[in-house]
A and B are shown apart, each in its own frame.
Chain A
Amino acid sequence: EAQVTQNPRYLITVTGKKLTVTCSQNMNHEYMSWYRQDPGLGLRQIYYSMNVEVTDKGDVPEGYKVSRKEKRNFPLILESPSPNQTSLYFCASTYWTGTTGELFFGEGSRLTVL
């Protein structure tokens, strides 16, 4: 089954404690990306990756890091989480054509930073 898998789905942590949200896709997609979804602000892109070892900042990259060492995996790293990073996070992948691309989303990871 084609899917994007995120873990953990739910996480409560404390300020400053490093955490990683994993994302894996089994569709051999080149393009992967991370979003956060907040009430009234919609989905905002954090980082994206066009392919292995190629990553770029989205609209809200501050406080986040990513890596793309393998095509299937694109983890999101919060080195020192703060309460303003409490949000619902989605990972997505797409077969990239340059002009179109259906985003396949993971189920989401709800993060609370106390």
Chain B
Amino acid sequence: QKEVEQNSGPLSVPEGAIASLNCTYSDRGSQSFFWYRQYSGKSPELIMFIYSNGDKEDGRFTAQLNKASQYVSLLIRDSQPSDSATYLCAYLAGNQFYFGTGTSLTVIP
């Protein structure tokens, strides 16, 4: 059974703070990992992907991957109200994509 576990939240942080989103997965054959952002009523859009252990930074976003612990996280620095959305963790194993249920983030002005 391939599973992706995320804390559904809701997670609330004040504007300017760091938001930390976490995800664990069950399939050790996972190749690549993704964070998607989904605004209410909209389709998901890719924020970050990572496939090597360690950190990957892109602007205010940092993805961290630890394959031994089967753990991937997303840090959002200097959180803005526009970051309020649901964040979906996903991974690719074989030819299939597997998604978590998402973490709802609210950034309070």
What is A's interface to B at a CB cutoff of 8 Å? 31, 33, 35, 40-45, 48, 50, 56, 58-59, 90, 99-103, 105-108
Q: How many A-B residue pairs have CB under 8 A?
A: 57
Q: Is the CB of B31 within 8 A of A99?
A: yes
Majority secondary structure of chain B interface residues (helix, strand, loop or mixed): strand
**Could you tell me the distance between the alpha carbons of A102 and B88 in the complex, rounded to whole angstroms?**
13
B13-21, B41-49, B62-70, B71-79: which lies at the interface: B41-49
Q: Is the CB of A40 within 8 A of B32?
A: no
What is B's interface to A at a CB cutoff of 8 Å? 2, 4, 8, 31-32, 34, 36, 42-46, 49, 51, 88, 90, 92, 95-102
Q: Is the CB of A42 within 8 A of B51?
A: no
One of B42, B46, B100, B102 near A103 (C-beta < 8 A): B46
Residue of B nearest to A33 (CB): B97
Q: Is the CB of A103 within 8 A of B49?
A: no
Inter-chain contacts of B46 with A (CB < 8 A)? 102-103
